[in-house]
Amino acid sequence: MISRRQLRIKAMQALYSFYKRGDGEVALTEKELLFNINKAYDLYHYILLLILEIADYAESRIDLAKKKYVPSEEDLNPNKRFIESNLIQQIRHSEQLLRYIDVKKLSWVNYPELKKELYHNFINEPAFKEFMEADDISFSDEKKLLTNLLANVVYPNESLEGVLEEQSIYWLDDLEYMISMVIKTLKRFNEDGSQKQPLLDLFKNPDNRKIPEDKEFAIELFRRSIANRSEYVEYIKSNTKNWDLERIAFMDILIMQMAITEFINFPSIPTKVTLNEYLEISKLYSTSKSSVFINGVLDKVVDQLRKNKKIQKSGRGLIGEIDGDQQN
């Protein structure tokens, strides 16, 4: 489930922490990297649980309205379409979700005001009103409603960001991606599904490897970036002759160092993929001009590495890569 880009970002964060701390504790920082990755998976389940919390708040409002001294006809006969929807019930009874939140002790109990705010924002959405007032709704309509909740109510909410920042320094970077993964999960639910409806795994592992390939990728990227730092920084220095290395942003050097690590040590990843990934990451985590600078430097580094036969790519989808090597 977790993407290679997310893993690159987390490896970058771990490397940044490692160099800034300066204690040489590689094993400790690697442990923090894996903790960071697992926290992202916590957030995935936490968002699923938040959907239920909003539904529970809606139900509590219905129960409270019935206890009015003089309840209205609407109070006595409320519209329960949202809280009783098939999709909500499937999430509520998901064995995988219930087991995970029990083990991890995930809860929104300390944030009643957030649940209240999200609920009121949600019921004022045109999509919610249309759903509740429609003559008939389908399971697809239920999916669309929860997608609207996540994409238009939950994600841009500043109060939620504040709550997440309190609980984990990692979660704000993960929030948008994990919401997209929850939406992807809901789209996979079947109308006739049961409590055994599968959620997404943290790592894809079709070959049932002892260590999933993507987890191994993150660990190796982190380790090799540290182990070969001096060599890779020399490639950067030799291709920025008009620049004093101390004048280059530390994050730019870190991003280029990681890209060079991939060029040399990961033969199945096309050079263009690596280059594009780190340019996108630079737009998020470095200066506004960094991507242009990094692109120019890495283009020269790639040429140098190819001439020195340091880039050896193999595998499916790498025909153009091999042709590029032969030209040099």
Domain boundaries, given as residue ranges, for the chain: 4-188, 228-327
Which alpha helices (H) appear in the chain, and where do they start and end?
4-21, 26-66, 73-76, 86-92, 95-104, 112-123, 126-133, 139-148, 158-167, 171-188, 213-227, 229-238, 250-265, 271-285, 290-307, 319-327
289-328 burial, b at 16+ Cβ within 10 Å, e below that, comes to ebbebbeebbeebbeebbeeebbebeeeebeebeebbeee
User: What span, in angstroms and rounded, lies between the C-alpha atoms of 293 and 229?
Assistant: 20
Q: How far apart are CA 262 and CA 292, in angstroms?
A: 19
- Where residue 245 falls among pLDDT bands split at 50, 70, 90? confident
Q: What is the CATH code for 228-327?
A: 1.10.940.10
pLDDT of res. 156 = 87
pLDDT computed for residue 205 by the predictor: 86
Least confident of 53-57, 72-76, 300-304: 72-76
Question: From the CB of residue 66, how many other CB atoms can be counted at a distance below 10 Å?
Answer: 11
Does 277 score more than 90 pLDDT?
Answer: yes
Task: For residue range 85-97, list pLDDT tens digits in order.
Answer: 999 999 999 999 9
CB 299 within 8 A of CB 261: no
Question: Is the pLDDT confidence value at 185 over 80?
Answer: yes
The pLDDT value given to residue 130: 97
Please report, rounded to a whole number, the percentage of residues in the chain having pLDDT higher than 70.
96
pLDDT tops 80 at residue 197:
yes
Report whether 39 contacts 100 (CB < 8 A). Answer: no
What's the pLDDT score for residue 318?
61
State pTM to two decimals.
Answer: 0.92
> Six-digit token pair at 174?
């993960």
Average pLDDT, integer, range 171-195: 93
Q: Flag whether pLDDT at 326 surpasses 70.
A: no
Alpha carbon 71 to its chain's center: 45
The distance in angstroms from the start CA to the end CA of the chain is 37
